[in-house]
Structure formats: structure tokens, C-alpha cells
Amino acid sequence: MSTISELILARASGQESTNAGDFIKAEVDVALNHDVTSVLAFEAMREMGADRVWDPDKVIMILDHVAPPSSVNAARVHNVIRNFIREQDMKNFFDVNSGVCHQVLPEHGFVKPGMVVIGADSHTCTHGAFGAFATGVGSTDMGAVLARGKTWLKVPETIKVNVNGKMGNHVHPKDVILAIAKEIGVSGATYMSLEYHGDVVRNMTIAGRMTLCNMAIEMGGKAGLCETDDKLYKWLDQRTSGPYEEVMADEDATYKSVLNLDMTGKEPQIACPHNVDNVRPVSELNKVKINQAFIGSCTNGRLEDMKQAHEVLKGKTIHPDVRVLIVPASRAIMKQAITEGIITDFIDAGATVSNPSCAACFGGHIGLLGPGEKGIATSNRNFRGRQGSPDAEVYLSSAAVAAASALTGYITHPEAAQ
């Protein structure tokens, strides 16, 4: 009768079973930290009386949000973190040249099915794509995790999302999650898990499932999860070693609600300002002019996203009124894109390609929007001020739509940019 979250949290708390609403103390398998939240977590750990992290092999530190540092204060923070790493004898440290934490973590084999992954970042839910219960916490809660290796959790209720149907041309996982967000709303899954099922999900790449799980938080979700399968095990085999736990919901699991979504006939979807659930089909937005296109982030900075954009941009020239910033999510992705000639073609088209990092996504580094500007982005949030000026507007899309819009200067279906 258990959902995926209930099954994983039962194991993590040493119980035979858990039910939605139970409060448990869970053993943490991985603690993920990055440059924006870490220093406060270190201070909280010490205020709790701990001088050492509970297990230096289970704490992962990645400098990604302001990387390399763009201010004196950011540089100071990075050095505080580096000193902490040395002091704690932590080996799992990824400096400013590594990439976005939610891409680096699974690429290096730190996430496996059945784990509890706690990160001081709201998009930690990305790792539910690997059959893990993964969720974000604040710096004080992370301080407790660093000190004790455990955390209190309320077992969430779960919404089951069944996605079926035939995906149309240029319709991608980002369009699926935007369609889901439109149905559930920005607060419709508050402190709930989203379980993704159906033929469309089963046929997705692992990168696509990461996109689904990544944006569970945009509906208020505590976690987003996919069941494990052979496709996942093969992906993991290239980065870590098994055996792997099979993570499947019970057939008679109890859900808060069930959403059935048919993708047949759906166009590419766009989240319009200033909410992720303000979603419209691309054909309704073809008069919206843009100033910038950003392709990257923990949502859509993976190799398949680079290839989507490349298919549209190769051999063409970006519109003179549009700035294009392309940021692969990790060094491994950037290297592969270089090897395949993708990066060269981006540069030839007129794009700016930056080192792997969060970049423009959270408005704290490069690629900000000015007052009155409009940007299209493959990232996950579009509230006021997210990517620069509070007087700017951000539209969210797949990499294919962002690339097509960069060519025409307005929001465009990829077929119209060929």
C-alpha cells in the first residue's frame, strides 16, 4: 500500500512501513552543498556543538552558483569553503570548473536508488529521477545534517502523475513538466511528492526524467520521483556500480490524487511571466519579442538539450537583437559538446558559451536581464527579479524553442525557424 516516498523513508528510518503524515528521523545517505548556502550551514553545525562533519565521504561540496566568483564577497565565500574542505579532510569537492551541483552529483555516481539525498538547494528534488528520495532544506537544517547525518521529515502525501500519449515533433520533457505545472499549479503539490508514471515517462531518457523531477518544487513539491528500470541501471553502470535497489510503488499504493495527462497533439509549452503555471502553447506567443535566450541550468543544460539547440542553430545566424547565452551543466557535457562540434557551431551562430555553472538561472552571476527586457530561458523559475531586473520578463521553454526564438527574435516554434 506504499508510495515510493513511503517505502524509501521507511528504510531510512528503520521502520517496516511509514504513512503520509508520519514524522520520522531519517538517515541521510548524501548531503549536497553549494557556495550560496554552505557557510551558513557550517556556522549552524558549529553552533550545535559539532566540530566535524558526521561522515566526510557523504558530504559533497560543489561551487556552482557564482562560479567563478564575480564579486569580492563571492571570492571570500569560496575561500571559506575551501578552508573548511581542508579542515574536514573532505575529498568530494568540486571547484568552480565542475558544473551545476545537480548534474555533477549523479554524473560522479553519488546517487543510487533508494537513497535519501538532502541538499541545501531547492532543486535537490532532481535526484528523484534515480529512484532516490531527494529534497532541499535550509542552511540550519543542513547544519544539523552535517553534524549528525540525520534529519527530521514528515512523510509527504503523493500525487500520482500518469503521462501517456504520442509526443509531437519538437515536444520534449520540458514541455511535459510545464503542462503538468499548468494542471497542478504553483502551490498544488505543497509538501507532497510527485510520482511520474506512464508510457511517456518510461520512454524518456534519464536526462528527461531529471527535468521532470527538477521542477517538482515549482509546484510546491517536497520531492519528485520516478520508478527504476533497466534504462536507469544501464545509465548508472557507466558512472558507479551496483547492485541497485528496485524502487517501485506498490500497486495498491494510496495517493492524495491522480493526474492523467495525454500529450497527444500538444504543442511546445511556454511558461509566461511571472509564474511557472502560467502556461500557454507556443503558437499563442508568436508576437512576443525577446532580448535574450538562455540555454542551460539544472533543468535543461544537459547534452540532449545542447543537441536540441544545435539542431536548430547549426549553420544559421542569431537575430541581431538577441543575446544568446549557452551554458552546459557540467564539464563532461561541455567536453562532449566540443568533441561533437556543437560548441563551435554555437559560436559560429553568434552565441556566447560560458563555463559550466548556474549562470543566468538565478540572477546572481552572468547574463542578467535589464529593465523592460524579455528573456526566454530553459531554466525553472520566472518570478519577478529571478534573472535580473524586477522589471524584466522571463518565459520558460525547452532548448529547441529557446534556440528557434533566438533566430527569429520572437518566441517561435522550432518548425517555423527551419
- Those residues with Cβ within 8 angstroms of residue 252's Cβ, 6 or more apart along the chain or in another chain: 1
Q: Render pLDDT for 292-343 as a digit per residue (tens, 0 to 9).
A: 999 999 999 999 999 999 999 999 999 999 999 999 999 999 999 999 999 9
Among the candidates 237, 261, 285, a domain finishes at: 261
Task: Say if pTM beats, i.e. exceeds, 0.75.
Answer: yes
Name the percent of the chain lying above pLDDT 70: 100
Among the candidates 232, 261, 290, a domain finishes at: 261
253 and 274 housed in the same domain:
no
Q: Render pLDDT for 177-197 as a digit per residue (tens, 0 to 9).
A: 999 999 999 999 999 999 999
**Which range of residues forms the domain containing residue 300?**
269-417
Q: How far apart are CA 224 and CA 131, in angstroms?
A: 9
Residue 418 has pLDDT above 80, yes or no: no
Q: Render pLDDT for 67-81 as a digit per residue (tens, 0 to 9).
A: 899 899 999 999 999
Residue 387 has pLDDT above 90, yes or no: no
Name which of 89-98, 355-364, 399-408 the model is least confident about: 355-364
Task: Decide if 85 contacts 56 (C-beta within 8 A).
Answer: no
Pairing of strands 150-154, 133-136: unpaired
Q: Render pLDDT for 202-213 as a digit per residue (tens, 0 to 9).
A: 999 999 999 999
Write down the mean pLDDT value for the chain: 95
297 and 252 housed in the same domain:
no
Q: What's residue 301's pLDDT?
A: 97
On the CB side of 298, CA atoms within 13 Å amount to 28
30 and 140 housed in the same domain:
yes
323 and 219 housed in the same domain:
no
Residue with cell 535543461: 300
Q: What's residue 364's pLDDT?
A: 75
Q: What is the mean pLDDT of residues 406-416?
A: 94
Name the percent of the chain lying above pLDDT 90: 92
* CATH classification of the domain holding 284: 3.30.499.10
Q: How far apart are CA 90 and CA 245, in angstroms?
A: 27
257 and 281 housed in the same domain:
no
**If phi over 0 gives left and psi between -120 and 50 gives alpha, with beta otherwise, what is residue 169?**
beta
12 and 50 housed in the same domain:
yes
233 and 297 housed in the same domain:
no
Question: Domain tally for the chain?
Answer: 2
Among the candidates 228, 261, 294, a domain finishes at: 261
